[in-house]
């Protein structure tokens, strides 16, 4: 015991340090297991023909990422517009870590690859990719389905995603694709027209009207073109979109890293390819097409042909591979309608199609780690048969209204399938009535000033705080017609593209532009205060050819931009039709139109689904169970150990107190009590006498079970004392000061103390105890107002509650005044006389002599003397005489029969009379002429005690 306590004291700090170090080591070790598998990279330059039948070759700069184990299925990873193979390095590494051979390459005209940009032309970029498949098939690291047919999937964002679609359409060797934020029809993406006079198929959530003669998406097209000129990756989303469950601060880190890498990409050395002036690295026909549309705002047949040739739409009817289509909800370049068209066209071939809408897009950021992981899951299942089937579910991300530090909170919703695909149900559409009122809108000359909906290309800066970008939109007065719904009574989760029927008429007398009426429709979410939010910041441009100048109205169906938006109760939907938009080529000719609703109902798509939840947290549940079991075991073990602690000696059942060999030593070498043994018999008032620091209080604390002895034991009525031993209920104690709750009265303190013992109230004898305390009315005052003496008396009264068989009082007369001291002595004597036992400690000899029947003298933790006070005080018949002639007196006493042990001590002479009456000795002295000043029993106790105290 002593050893262990010393051990605890001296070693607790080092032990703590070791424990912390161990925990740290375990954590580090556990994390080492998570280290990603190693990935090796090999750069290679692969020659491909410049054009289908050309002898000239161009060089594609590639990097092959090899996983730990080969052969493995391959993933071809084309990059976005303006990027290079370096811009997909992160995703390539991740995929290689998942066990794929990944081929990243710079497309022709980008990065270090030579050649000219032909915009994913089937004759150029797609053939390049086919050559890369040939090359992959020759690599021994790549698993093959047949000779020359590698097991390969294609995924890529934007420009790369379109390549994935086109390649899958023309090359059967591609086993699966995952196009991300890409287009179906580049012509519709850059020259959209969202209005048709004939009906639009609205069975899917986000259909686009895809009508002819679109309005030129000027700002985005310009950004795209300049990205091809300068090589800067302006067109791609500069950063990752936020994902559900992702911390905002984590996003900040990602942003920082994105910001760091961006300049490197832009500063990449320009390749030594041919640069032909204003066309940069674009192929001549592409350059000409852009110049045509950018200058006129209209697409010529040649331009449309260039765009058509670059569009996956031409080959989607041949795609039968499993396809995971990922599209962004914050994308004013390639909206959800493009993904909708891809999904429908591919699913029509009977292919397996999964659609995912995530919170990013060209305005909102590229897929984050979670979504990239799900793309890798898709590849793993469809290329390798690993993992669970990702299925054909439709997932979309709901951007919440909550935006702490600028980023929204998100949740993913999963529906069983993308509505409107073959074999599936059409999407649910709710009719929302709009207030119809014919309004006239004016197109300003030159299309300026123009309404603002989004700021393309600023995506990286603004999209993070979509609260800003979605509220940036400005409609100019006089240019916009507004049709608002009634406030919603319950929340509606708008999921996709709403459609509306508009009636547009020219104002008679106003000219109708030759290129047709250009209008822009958008759907706002307006809250109760009129604060409007434009979901996705997107607008649907409309061009109506041949609008009769006489004012005859034309009815059109308008597909509004696809979005995911929870419209709260009390909010309204607002359909706004304006004549201008900053991001588009507006009509230059000043004119005016009358706008009204052909149908009062707005058709709002709703896709029911369940929130994506993580897997059942089994490890956490197991952890909870283990913790509970450990606690239970600890409780049971403790219970058994307590049961075993009971120790009774029936021979001592009648002895109030036996202390044997009691030792208490503290760590550091201090020994407060050393080998103390004494015994208190029934009916005694025992005084424990010793100077301060003799170990009296420590002994009493051990008696109360407050301190564990280092060695030896204390037995009370035969029961060995341990903490909380039941026999303690027979002891009433007052040790080293009172202990009361200062906020309660003395009376309440005693009542609550007794209640805490759990014993019946009638055993307490409150009235008798309180009478002993003698506090009068003060007993109802708070204890904090008491004087030292009052607390002392209350504490003694508390010790007497229940009339204990052994009353233990430590310095009971401290702080009492003389009459009270007198009374206290009386109390103790008579209490013992009534059949109880009292143990009193004191450092005052007189106190013990006057109060106690027996005494134990302690000094420095050891027993000095023990016995009845009389015996100890008087010794066995010894006497002291104070005389004027000590030597003379000694001689006389030695002469008496039976007297021995005569000693001279100054004026005093001590002698053991040994049965001789003191009076006789006195007489002999007087006879011998010795003047006796004082005669009495020798006070040996005092001598001993003074000696001790005097030290």
Partner 1 sequence: MKTSGAGAHDTGGVHTDPSAISDLTDAAAHENSSVAPDGSKVGYRAGRTLPIRVELARQLRRRRTQLVLGFLVLLPFILVVAFELGQASPNRRSGGFVDLATASGVNFVILTLFVSGSFLLPMIVALFFGDTIASEASWSSLKYLLAAPVPRHRLLRKKALASGLLSVFALVLLPAVALLVGVIWYGAGEAVSPTGEAASFGSGVYGVALAVCYISVHLFWVAGLALYLSVSTDAPLGAVGGAVLASILSQILDQITALEDLRDYLPTHYALAWADLLSSDVDWSQMARGTFSALAYGAFFTLLAARKFARKDITS
CA 514 from chain centre, in angstroms, equals 61
Residue with tokens 């929302």: 432
Nearest distance in Å: CB 174, partner 1: 36
- Contacts of residue 807, defined as CB under 8 A and 6 or more positions apart, other chains included, come to 731, 732, 733, 799, 800, 828, 831, 836, 837, 838, 839
Q: Shortest distance, CB of residue 774 to partner 1, whole angstroms?
A: 4
Task: Supply the minimum distance, in Å, between the C-beta of residue 571 and partner 1.
Answer: 6
Taking alpha carbons only, the member of 950, 937, 946, 948 closest to residue 872 is 937
Cα→Cα distances 797→135, 747, 750, 779, 836, Å: 100, 11, 9, 12, 15
CB-based burial of residue 504 (10 Å sphere; 0-12 exposed, 13-18 middle, 19+ buried)? buried
By C-beta, is 145 or 771 nearer to partner 1?
771
CA angle 939, 942, 947 (to 5 degrees): 130
Q: Give me the least distance between CB of 798 and partner 1, in Å please.
A: 7
Residues 6+ apart with CB under 8 A from 429: 202, 603, 604, 605, 606
What is the strand order of the sheet 878-883 is part of?
Answer: 900-905, 908-912, 878-883, 932-937
The CA-based angle 713-715-716, given to 5 degrees, is 150
Is residue 132 within 8 A of residue 78, CB to CB? The reply is no
Q: What is the DSSP pairing of strand 428-433 with strand 407-415?
A: unpaired
**With respect to partner 1, which residue has the nearer C-beta, 275 or 761?**
761
Residue for token pair 């027209």: 193
Which of these, 603, 541, 525, lies nearest to 578 by C-alpha position?
541
CB of 804 to partner 1, least distance (A): 8
Output 16 or 45, the one with its CB closest to partner 1.
16
Residue 805 CB, shortest distance to partner 1, in Å, is: 6
Q: Which two tokens stand for residue 161?
A: 């995603």
Residue with smaller CB distance to partner 1, 267 or 654: 654
Nearer to partner 1 by Cβ, of 275 and 632: the residue is: 632
Q: How many CB atoms lie within 10 A of CB 546?
A: 10
Q: How far is the CB of 856 from partner 1 (least distance, A)?
A: 21
Q: Considering the complex, state which of residue 384 and residue 527 has its C-beta at the smaller distance from partner 1.
A: 527
User: Token pair for residue 438?
Assistant: 């014919």
Residue 889 Cα distances to 529, 734, 740, 928, 932, angstroms? 118, 49, 59, 8, 9
Query: Where does 853-916 show beta strands of DSSP type E?
Result: 854-859, 862-868, 878-883, 900-905, 908-912
φ/ψ bin of 878: left (φ > 0), alpha (ψ from -120 to 50), beta (otherwise): beta
Nearer to partner 1, 108 or 532 (CB): 532
Report, in Å, the least distance between residue 756 CB and partner 1: 5
Cα 64 to chain centroid, rounded:
38
**Cα 939 to the chain's mean position, in Å?**
76
- Tell me the closest approach of the beta carbon of residue 653 to partner 1, in angstroms: 8
- 506 near 548, Cβ under 8 Å? yes
Tell me how far apart the alpha carbons of residues 168 and 162 are, in angstroms, rounded to a whole number.
10
To partner 1, the closest distance from the beta carbon of 409 in angstroms equals 5
Shortest Å, Cβ 641 to partner 1:
9
Nearer to partner 1, 826 or 920 (CB): 826
Q: How far is the CB of 170 from partner 1 (least distance, A)?
A: 42
* Nearest to partner 1 of 272, 529 (CB atom): 529
Task: Name the residue nearer to partner 1 (CB basis): 55 or 767.
Answer: 767
What's the CA angle centered on 357, arms 355 and 358, to 5 degrees?
A: 140
Residue closer to partner 1 by CB (options 571, 594) is 571
Minimal distance, residue 691 CB to partner 1, in Å: 20
- Print the SS3 string covering 504-519: EEECCCCCCCCCCEEE
Whichever of 725 and 858 has its CB closer to partner 1, that residue is: 725
Exposure string for 885-919, b = 16+ CB within 10 A, e = fewer: bbebbbebbeebeebeebeeeeebbbbbbeebeee
Query: Which CB sits closer to partner 1, 724 or 915?
Result: 724
CB of 820 to partner 1, least distance (A): 7
- The residue among 5 and 93 lying less far from partner 1, judged by its C-beta, is 5
Q: How far is the CB of 810 from partner 1 (least distance, A)?
A: 11
Q: Minimum distance from CB of 282 to partner 1 (Å)? A: 42
Rounded to an integer, what distance in angstroms lies between the CA atom of residue 743 and that of residue 785?
9
Name the percent of the chain in helix, strand, coil, to the closest 5: 35, 25, 40
The 10 Å CB-count burial string (b at 16+, else e) for 759-792 is eeeeebbbeebbebbebeebbeeebeebeeebbb
| DSSP strand pairing (563-567 vs 878-883) | unpaired
**Going by C-beta distance under 8 Å and a sequence separation of 6 or more, which residues neighbour residue 301?**
none
> 């005084």: which residue's tokens?
687
Structural tokens at position 593: 């139109």
Q: Which is nearer to partner 1, 599 or 850 (CB)?
A: 850
Closer by beta carbon to partner 1, 47 or else 768 = 768
Length, in residues, of the chain: 951
Assign residue 361 a region: left if phi > 0, alpha if psi is -120 to 50, beta otherwise? Answer: left
Nearer to partner 1, 275 or 621 (CB): 621
Choose between 21 and 634: whose C-beta lies nearer to partner 1.
634
For residue 288, the minimal CB distance to partner 1 (Å) is 47
Q: Least CB distance from residue 3 to partner 1, whole Å?
A: 14
């Amino acid at each position: 015991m002593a050893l262990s306590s010393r051990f605890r004291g001296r070693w607790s700090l080092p032990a703590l340090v070791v424990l912390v170090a161990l925990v740290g080591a375990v954590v580090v070790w556990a994390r080492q297991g998570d280290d990603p598998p190693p990935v090796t990279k090999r750069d290679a330059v692969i020659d491909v023909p410049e054009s289908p039948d050309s002898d000239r070759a161009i060089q594609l700069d590639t990097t092959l990422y090899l996983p730990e184990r080969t052969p493995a299925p391959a993933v071809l990873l084309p990059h976005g517009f303006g990027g290079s193979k370096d811009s997909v390095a992160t995703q390539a590494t991740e995929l290689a870590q998942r066990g794929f051979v990944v081929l990243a390459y710079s497309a022709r005209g980008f990065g270090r690859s030579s050649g000219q940009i032909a915009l994913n032309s089937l004759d150029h970029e797609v053939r390049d990719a086919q050559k890369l498949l040939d090359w992959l098939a020759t690599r021994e690291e790549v698993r093959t389905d047949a000779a020359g047919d590698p097991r390969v999937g294609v995924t890529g964002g934007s420009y790369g995603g379109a390549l994935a679609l086109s390649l899958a359409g023309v090359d059967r060797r591609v086993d699966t694709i995952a196009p991300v934020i890409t287009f179906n029809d580049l012509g519709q993406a850059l020259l959209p027209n969202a209005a048709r006079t004939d009906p639009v198929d609205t069975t899917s959530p986000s259909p686009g009207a895809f009508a002819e003669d679109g309005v030129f998406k000027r700002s985005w097209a310009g950004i795209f073109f300049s990205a091809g000129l300068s090589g800067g990756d302006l067109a791609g989303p500069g950063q990752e979109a936020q994902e559900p469950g992702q911390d905002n601060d984590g996003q900040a880190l990602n942003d920082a890293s994105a910001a760091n890498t961006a300049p490197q990409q832009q500063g990449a050395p320009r390749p030594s390819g041919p640069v032909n002036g204003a066309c940069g690295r674009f192929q001549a026909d592409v350059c000409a097409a852009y110049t045509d549309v950018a200058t006129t705002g209209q697409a010529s047949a040649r331009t449309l042909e260039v765009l058509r040739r670059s569009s996956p739409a031409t080959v989607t009817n041949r795609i039968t591979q499993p396809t995971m289509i990922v599209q962004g909800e914050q994308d004013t370049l390639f909206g959800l309608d493009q993904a909708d068209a891809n999904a429908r066209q591919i699913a029509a071939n009977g292919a397996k199609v999964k659609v995912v809408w995530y919170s990013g897009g060209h305005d909102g950021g590229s897929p984050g780690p979670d979504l990239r992981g799900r793309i890798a899951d898709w590849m793993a299942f469809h290329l390798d048969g690993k993992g669970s089937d990702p299925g054909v579910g439709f997932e979309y991300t709901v951007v919440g209204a909550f935006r702490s530090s600028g980023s929204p909170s998100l949740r993913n919703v999963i529906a069983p399938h993308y509505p409107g695909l073959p074999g599936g149900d059409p999407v649910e559409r709710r009719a929302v009535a709009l207030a119809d009122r014919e309004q006239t809108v004016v197109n300003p000359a030159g299309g300026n000033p123009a309404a603002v909906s989004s700021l393309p290309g600023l995506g990286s800066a603004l999209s993070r705080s979509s609260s800003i970008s979605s509220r940036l939109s400005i409609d100019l007065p006089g240019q916009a017609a507004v049709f608002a719904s009634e406030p919603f009574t319950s929340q509606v989760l708008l999921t996709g593209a709403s459609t509306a029927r508009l009636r547009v008429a020219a104002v008679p007398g106003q000219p109708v532009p030759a290129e047709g009426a250009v209008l822009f429709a958008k759907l706002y979410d307006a809250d109760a205060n009129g604060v409007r939010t434009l979901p996705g910041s997107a607008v649907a441009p409309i061009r109506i050819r041949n609008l009769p100048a006489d004012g005859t109205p034309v009815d059109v169906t308008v597909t509004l931009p696809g979005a995911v938006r929870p419209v709260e109760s009390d909010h309204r939907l607002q359909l706004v039709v304006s004549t201008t938009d900053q991001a588009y080529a507006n009509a230059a000719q000043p004119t005016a139109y009358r706008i009204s609703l052909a149908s009062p109902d707005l058709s709002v798509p709703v896709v029911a689904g369940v929130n994506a939840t993580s897997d059942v947290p089994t490890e956490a549940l197991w952890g909870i169970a283990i913790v509970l079991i450990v606690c239970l075991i600890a409780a049971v073990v403790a219970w058994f150990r307590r049961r075993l602690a009971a120790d009774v000696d029936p021979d001592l059942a009648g002895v109030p107190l036996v202390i044997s060999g009691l030792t208490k030593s503290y760590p550091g070498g201090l020994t407060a009590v050393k080998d103390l043994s004494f015994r208190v018999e029934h009916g005694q008032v025992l005084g424990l006498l010793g100077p301060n620091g003799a170990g009296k209080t420590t002994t009493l604390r051990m008696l109360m079970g407050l301190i564990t002895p280092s060695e030896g034991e204390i037995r009370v009525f035969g029961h060995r004392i341990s903490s909380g031993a039941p026999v303690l209920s027979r002891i009433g104690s007052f040790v080293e000061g009172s202990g009361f709750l200062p906020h309660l009265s003395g009376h309440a303190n005693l009542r609550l103390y007794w209640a805490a013992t759990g014993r019946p109230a009638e055993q307490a004898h409150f009235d008798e105890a309180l009478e002993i305390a003698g506090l009068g009315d003060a007993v109802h005052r708070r204890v904090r107002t008491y004087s030292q003496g009052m607390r002392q008396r209350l504490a003694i009264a508390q010790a007497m509650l229940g009339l204990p068989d052994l009353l233990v009082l430590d310095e009971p007369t401290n702080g009492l005044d003389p009459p009270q001291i007198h009374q206290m002595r009386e109390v103790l004597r008579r209490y013992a006389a009534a059949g109880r036992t009292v143990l009193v400690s004191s450092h005052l000899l007189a106190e013990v002599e006057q109060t106690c029947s027996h005494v134990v003298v302690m000094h420095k933790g050891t027993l000095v003397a023990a016995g009845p006070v009389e015996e100890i005080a008087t010794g066995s018949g010894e006497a002291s005489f104070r005389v004027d002639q000590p030597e003379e007196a000694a001689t006389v006493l030695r002469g008496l029969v039976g007297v021995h042990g005569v000693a001279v001590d100054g004026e005093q002479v001590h002698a053991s009379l040994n049965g001789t009456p003191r009076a006789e000795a006195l007489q002999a002295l007087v006879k011998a002429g010795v003047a006796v000043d004082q005669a009495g029993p020798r006070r040996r106790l005092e001598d001993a005690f003074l000696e001790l105290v005097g030290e």
